[in-house]
Structure formats: structure tokens, C-alpha cells
Structure 1
Amino acid sequence: MELRQLQYFLKVAQKEHVTKAAEELHVAQSAVSRQIHLLEQELGIDLFMQKGRNLHLTPVGQLFCKRVESILKDLDRSVAEIHEFLNPERGEIRIGFPNSVGTHLIPTIVAEFRRHYPHVKFRFKQGMYPSLIKDVLSGEVDLAFISPCPDSDEQLIGDVVMTEELFAILPQNHPLAQEKIIRLEQLKDEQFVLFSPGYSLRPIVWQACLKAGFTPQIAFEGGETDTIRGLVAAGMGVSLLPEMALFPTNSLQPAQVRVEAPAVTRTIGLIHRSDGRLPLVARSFRAFLLTYFRTRQNNTPVGS
């Protein structure tokens, strides 16, 4: 069994077509077909079945495909680790994060890190809480910012890097917009603009409202902080957003007011797999981040 056969097999499985796979691999169609045939002969099984013009994996082919994906991913990471060992300042860091930290936090810390390591590359992946956990466990990303930081997990190591206050955001003409601080129960009769189910900020806001004695009435659900902030500014309702999501991105901005009874906060954690397979360059970045947040914990807000 040759590495080339596994690479060809995986590409055909992804494209479900020999010609399309060959085009992407920049080889002749006959070469791809021959290597797949030799692989099936060696294994003594059919990996694909014809359906119309496409090829679909057989049940045993699907099982084999999962293993091949894992093998080739590990091989790619091994090659990358060798290059990083030879020159750890020129590696690539793969990092995941939720939408709410992408506007300001990620650019700030990446810019700061690259001042010291200008040749390090970054690959970013944005996602919701469950997908970020999955991406870390599958090795799709090396590190991920996540909120809230998950409880203890044998497969993950997580460090709480910061605790952030959530502010009420209101239309500029709202009767409470000029207040310095309000009780959350004062918003019980308002329409709320919230993150959709699956976003980690939604249950934080929902539970805070329940603790204040009411169930929020939902006017709109979305997945982008800019959208939520813009709709509130346009008078469509009120919401709660973390401080780092309140940096202005256009001229239409809501008022922001501190909340008490209860005060609403969220934790932001940095997670990675617990199996010790973090690449050298990612280890350097993690160490940098832990120091970065620790030194700023009692000083200025992130990015200020």
C-alpha cells in the first residue's frame, strides 16, 4: 500500500468522481483509476460503487475513509512539526474562535504576537461552542477561544484567560439610555434581540433574565454581533453584549449601560487537546497568550 494510493483514494471519496479528482490532483484520470484498482485488489474489497455518473463509498469504504483521513492528517502534522522543530518561528498556528471575539480580540493578540514572531502564519476557523470543541478534538485547530470555558474534560485542557462583563445595549432614544447603571428587571417588558440557539451568549443572557424574574420576549435572533448591535440601534429591541463586542464598526450605535441585580459576566477560555500533541509553534502561542492575559488582568481592558 502506497501513500499515493491513499491520497488518490481520499480525493476520489471527496469529489465522488475520478475525473474531478484527477483534475485537482493534476494527474491523468487513468493513473487515479489504476491506483484505486490496485488498492482495492490489495485490500480485497470494493471501496466504491457506481451511482449514475458518480462514485459513492461502500459501507466498508466509508470506514476505511475515516481511517485514511486521520492517517493523512497525522502525517501532515508530523511533517509540519519537523519544519517547526527546525525553525519554530516560521510555523503555522490554527486557531478557532466564536464570532463575539473575532472583531477585536483576535486581531489584537495576533498583531501583538507577530511583532515578536513576524514569520508565523495563522489559519483561522470561526464557529459556535459545539463546533469549536469538535474542531479541537479532531485536530482541525490547535487552540480555540471558547466561552464559557468548559468544565473538566479528560480530552481537553482549558484555561480561563478572562472574565468579561456584559452590558445592556439600548436604542439611543430609550428612556434608560442615559442611565449609568440599571437593574436587569427594568428590561422585563422589552423586546430582546438575541443570539440564535447554539451560540454560547444566548444561555448566559437567558439565565440572567430568569434570575432577574422574567423570561425575555424575543423580537429577533441572529448570529452576528454587528447585526444584533445594529438592530438594537435601529430601535428593534434591547440586548446584552460583552464589552469587547461593543467596539463601534459604523455610525449607527446603540447606547450601552452597566447592569446589576444580577451583574452578568462570561468567562473566555483557551482550550487544546490533552494528549500532548500541540505543535511547538502553538505551544509558544499558548504560553504567550497566558502571559498576555495574566499581565492585563488587573490593568487595562484587552486591546485598549
Structure 2
Amino acid sequence: MDNDNRELATLLPVLPILVELGANRHITATAETLGIPQSTVSRALARAAEVVGTPLVLRKGRGVELTPAALALIPKAGEALELVRTGLALAREESGQQFGRIQVAFQHTFGEEVLPLFIRAFTRENPGVSFDLQQGSRAFCLDLLAAGSADLALVAPTPPSSRTLGAEVLYSEPLKLVVPADHRLAGSSGVRLDEVRDEPFVMLEPGYGMRSIVESLCHQAGFRAHVAFQGQDLHTVRGLVSAGLGLAVAPPERGNAQQAQRGGLSRCEVNIAWPAARRDIGLVWRNRPDATAQATRFRDMVLAQGRDLLGAR
């Protein structure tokens, strides 16, 4: 092996360490991110410095300062790693196997059934693909998408498509008025929302999709709801209603839509006759030319088969 090849053989294993160090400028953080001992990072940097012929880092407080040599090398190291990743993806594609990772953000209410159904259908045909899942409010999901930290998001209501975001409604579901089991409207066949304008409401916190939907419905009915309690998931909202602490507007509970009872607390769902109370659940994605093939394939599957998958629940 000639000298150039020996130097490359020494330097190539160090490239991921150099790139990560360039991002956070801290040896301990680099080790933690890569899941390797701090001593391994230090030894790797020492080997790289021997190949380059000059130090790559200088100690600076609790972190490190990159030398001019490191600042010249690290961008090229990043480019080299990206080329290798691209080549690996092409090689796997040629082999007929699908690998990679898809980042999906979703609102809490879609984590129990909707998203698992989509992932199960997709991984049957693409068993090598894995998912990074992040859940939170509608605003949280859309922020992740805008920041590039998610490939797709499941949200309600569905935002309009734009130059940077694509969006499509997957399905629409009715919303119900949830009342304590002993409420005067329990068992009613339908109710106008303005009939409860003077009663306290339990809602999700601002930033959640259901919060904006309920506020819009109340506005259409001619009043602004008095919010007695706020929560971060619909299980809590329904529990507070069961305890007689207010009313709520929520999607129907599956399995027992008319009445639910837990631990001595019970509630009922009542149809909302006016105004029309529904929510549209949609898939949102970034309009980017560098979207991964796996994310694009998952999006296309959900758009093509999502309604059928959900209808078979």
C-alpha cells in the first residue's frame, strides 16, 4: 500500500467524527452524539492530525477551537460522507432492498390507530425502512416540518398547500359534544352548540388543532367559550368532562361512541346539529427536490391507500 492510500485508510474512519465535531465544537458532545467513548474521539483526532501534519483542534474553555486546517478539511469530509450515503442508497436500490429512515410528526390523536396503520402497510413492502416519530401539537408538527426536522406530518385541520408545503385531506370525521353522563343533554339526539354557550368548556391548550377548531365552531355559534380547564391530550379532556368539570367538543371515541365509563366517572357524546362540526385530517409534506425516495414513497402510499386503510378499521 502506497503512502497516499495509507493516509486515506487512516483518515476515512475519522470523517464522521470530524463532521460532528465541526457541528458542535465539543469533544464530549461529539462522543455522546456518535455513541462512542470520549477517548475514542480524542485518539481519532490525534490520528487525523498526524495525517494532516498539523493540529486540528485547540482547547478553548470547555470546548475546542477548530484550526484553519480543520476548517478546510471538515466541509470536504462532509461532502465525502454525503457521496458515500448517496452511493449506498443507490446500491441498495439496485439490490431491490429499501432502507432508510422517514421522519414523521403527528398530533397525539393520530398515534393510537391512524399512523400505526399507515406504517404497518408501508413496512410490509419496505421492511428495511425505519421511522423517527415525534408527536405534539399541530403547531409543533408544522414547525418541525418547516425546520426540516420532519419529512411529513399528520395534522388537523389541514393547512392549504403553498410553494413550500404540499397538503391533502385524507378523511373527515364528525365532532361530538362530550357531556357528563348526568348532564341535561345526555342522551339527546342532537344539540345546537349555542345551547351550551353559558357552560364551562374543557379544551386543549392553544396551538393544538382541536383548540382552533372548537374556537371556530363557538364563533360560528355566536359566542366565545369560557375555558375552565386546558389539557394536552383528549384523554385528559374527556376525563375532566366525566368528572363534571365542563363540556368539550371532540372526535368520537371508537368502540363506545355513545357513553364511556372509567373508574366511576362517565360521559356521553351528543351529535352537534349546528353548526356543522367536522375536522379534516390531512397529510402535509415539504416541497423539496431533495426529499428522500423513502419519504416520497411513504407519502405516495398514504395518499393512494390511506382512505381505504382507515375505512377498514
Q: What is the TM-score of this pair, normalised by structure 1?
A: 0.76
> Whole-Å Cα distance in 1 between the matches of residues 80 and 203 of structure 2?
41
Structure 2 counterpart of 1:110, one-letter code:
I
SS in 1 for 2:86: helix
Matched to 1:261, the amino acid is W
2:167 to 153, 158, 167: 158
Q: How does 1:92-107 map to 2 (within 5 A)?
A: 92-107=101-116
> How far does residue 183 in structure 1 lie from its aligned partner after superposition?
0.7
- How far did residue 35 of structure 1 move? 7.7
For 1:240, the equivalent position in structure 2 comes to 249
Distance 1:160 1:15, change over 3 A: same
1:25 matched to 2:36: yes
* Residue 175 of structure 1: how far off its partner (Å): 1.3
CA drift at 1:194? 0.5
Higher RCO (C-alpha under 8 Å, 6+ residues apart): 1
Gaps in structure 2 of 5+ consecutive residues? 1-10, 67-71
Partner of 1:61: none
- Cα separation, partners in 2 of 1:214 and 1:134, compared to 1, 3 Å: closer
Question: Is 2:280 the partner of 1:270?
Answer: no
How do 1:219-258 and structure 2 match up within 5 A?
219-243=228-252, 246=254, 251-252=261-262, 254-258=267-271
Q: Distance in 1 between matches of 2:269 and 2:42?
A: 64
Could you say what secondary structure the match of 1:148 adopts?
coil
Q: Summarize the Cα distance change of 1:6–1:276 in structure 2 as closer, same or farther, 3 Å threshold.
A: same
Of the three residues 295, 302, 306, the one matched with 1:282 is 295
Matched residue SS, 1:269: strand
> SS state of the match for residue 163, structure 2?
coil
Counterpart pick for 2:193 among 167, 179, 184: 184
CA contact (8 A) 1:272 1:278 kept: no
Aligned: 1:171 with 2:180: yes
- How far did 1:162 drift? 1.6
Of 272-281 and 190-199, more deviation after overlay is shown by 272-281
Distance 1:232-1:84 versus aligned 2 partners, 3 A rule:
farther
Cα deviation, 1:115-135, whole Å, max 9, x if unaligned, reads 444454332111322332232
Identity of aligned residues (%): 27
Query: SS of 1:161's equivalent?
Result: strand
Question: Residue type matched to 1:85 in 2?
Answer: E
Partner AA of 2:213 in structure 1 = I
**1:131 counterpart SS class:** helix
Distance, in Å, in 1 between the alignment partners of 2:164 and 2:294 is: 21
The amino acid across from 1:28 in the alignment is T
Give CA-to-partner distance per residue, 1:20-51, whole Å, 9 cap, x none: 7379433435336648989xx9999x89841x
Q: 1:232 offset after TM fit, Å? A: 1.4
**2:27–2:42 Cα contact (<8 Å) kept:** no
Tell me the matched-pair count: 289
> Do residues 78 (structure 1) and 86 (structure 2) align?
yes
Task: Report the CA distance between 1:5 and its aligned residue.
Answer: 5.4
Contact 2:27 2:41 in 1 (8 A): no
Do the aligned partners of 1:108 and 1:303 also contact (CA within 8 Å) in 2? no
| Unaligned 5+ runs, structure 1 | 59-63
Rate the CA distance shift 1:247–1:107 in 2: closer, same or farther, 3 A.
farther
Give the AA of the match of 1:31: R
Q: Do the aligned partners of 2:155 and 2:282 also contact (CA within 8 Å) in 1?
A: yes
Q: CA RMSD in A?
A: 4.1
Which is higher, the Rg of structure 1 or of structure 2? 2
